[in-house]
Structure 1
Amino acid sequence: MPGYLTKQEDIAIPGAADLIIRSLLDRQQFSDPLGTAEALGISSAAWPLFGLLWPSGSQLAQRMATRPLNAGERVLEIGCGLALASMVCHRRGVDVTASDCHPLAAAFLLENLRLNGMLPLKYRTGQWGAASANTAADVQGRFDLIMGSDVLYERDARASLAQFLDRHATESAQIWIVDPDRGNRSAFSKQMAALRFEVAEERLDHPALADVPAYKGRLLVYQRTLTTV
């Protein structure tokens, strides 16, 4: 892979079989020779973040490993990065679509599916912080469950993420966000409340155990309030 280095690891997901994941070697990797990422507003500092394994992503994958399956539901992962949660869902037979705005996310997903002997899963471009070209490659339609991890990493004064979720959630959808207490949770929940979404929070804190590092964060579950006539 020209311009950057990678590594390959066996990743344990409690409640599911291990996954073989190829990721970037570290946060120093960067390659954007054609300026594709820069044109999307992805800086050199932010460029490698999609290709690293993050604790909140593992937390979301673990929840997806044990979540009851609902027949016929459509699931969307936003800001998927290396898409651990989507891969866990896909292995369980869930109709899942992974999405991200990074130009290399799809290629890494395809390679990691190959490494695990899994068939390709649906991937779409999902970018809520900028105007979308609204092409066939973008996220389309509505979903019964939308999930994401560590997506509240910056202030979003225009409520771009909340509007994106509102646009792609069915009336009865749930939205699951794993957030490592980054500080933007309250503002985001107010934006969601303005769109009729109530939130329930669950702490996910646990101490360091054997080879598992300590984690502090929470699962945010949003669902629309029922309208009355």
Structure 2
Amino acid sequence: MPGYLLKFESIAVRGVDNLAIRSLRDHQQFSDPLGAAQRLGISSAAWPLFGLLWPSGLHMAERMALHPVTPGERILEIGCGLALASLVAHRRGADVTASDCHPLAGDFLRENLRLNRMSPMPYRHGQWGVPADAGAAGQVQGLFDLVLGSDLLYERDEDGTLARFIGAHTAPGGQVWIIDPDRGNRPAFTRRMAAQGFGLREERLQRPAEAGMAAYKGRVLVYGR
């Protein structure tokens, strides 16, 4: 692929068959020849983050491997990156939509669906804090019963745009699952979610190192309204 280097891996997710995943080779990759990412506020340092597999995303995928598939339940993954959790849910028959702000996230998702011989899955542009007409066509719309996000709290969000985005797309009685590796911005985010009408239940997530998986320490933040 001109401009950046790729790798292909077989990713083990506990509870489901392995997934074939195309990702960026490392966090040094960057290519934005037309300035599409720059126009969306994505810096060169942040550009490759969508295309890497992150521990929190793998743990969310494991959680989705155990989540019962319920007819009529609509699921939205925000900041999906390589959308591992969405791929697991889709393979199991769930109604899931993946979303991200990166201009290449949809292309990577479509290729990983092809590599795993899966049917097409909805993808939408989802970016909080940016006017709708500043992003790509196909914005996130509507309400969802379950909203997922992995390691989203790595930046301060003084204006509460992430909480408002989640609030705008979570159905009454819906839940929000955030897997967070104990980021310092978690308490402030919880306060902003409370302002959107969400209560919080926390689950500790601590795993020792295993073959193919580093040790992990964090939390599952379960918000409900």
TM-score when normalising by structure 1: 0.96
Q: Distance in 2 between matches of 1:144 and 1:128?
A: 19
Alignment correspondent of 1:217: 218
Cα 1:213–1:46 shift into 2, 3 Å: same
Alignment correspondent of 2:181: 180
Matches within 5 A, 1:136-147: 137-147=138-148
Alignment correspondent of 1:157: 158
Alignment correspondent of 2:74: 74
Contact 2:76 2:147 in 1 (8 A): yes
Alignment correspondent of 1:193: 194
Unaligned runs of 5+ in 2: none
Amino acid at match of 2:12: A
Q: What secondary structure is seen at the aligned counterpart in 1 of 2:217?
A: coil
Amino acid at match of 1:41: G
- Deviation of the 1:210 alpha carbon: 2.9
Tell me how many residue pairs correspond in the alignment. Answer: 224
| TM-superposition CA deviations, 1:19-66 (whole Å, max 9, x none) | 000000000000000011001000000000000000000000000000
Q: Distance in 2 between matches of 1:61 and 1:204?
A: 14
- Deviation of the 1:136 alpha carbon: 5.5
Q: Distance in 2 between matches of 1:160 and 1:88?
A: 28
Q: Distance in 1 between matches of 2:213 and 2:50?
A: 21
Amino acid at match of 1:209: E
| TM-superposition CA deviations, 1:176-214 (whole Å, max 9, x none) | 000011111100000011111000010111111233210
- Deviation of the 1:135 alpha carbon: 7.5
Q: Distance in 2 between matches of 1:181 and 1:98?
A: 24
Q: What secondary structure is seen at the aligned counterpart in 2 of 1:216?
A: strand
Alignment correspondent of 1:227: none
Q: Which runs of 4+ in 1 moved over 3 A?
A: none
Contact 2:21 2:112 in 1 (8 A): yes
Alignment correspondent of 1:25: 25
TM-score when normalising by structure 2: 0.97
Q: Does 1:202 align with 2:203?
A: yes
Unaligned runs of 5+ in 1: 225-229
Amino acid at match of 1:189: T
Q: Percent identity?
A: 65
Root-mean-square deviation (CA, aligned residues, Å) is: 1.1
Matches within 5 A, 1:42-81: 42-81=42-81
Q: Distance in 2 between matches of 1:41 and 1:135?
A: 13
Amino acid at match of 2:223: Y
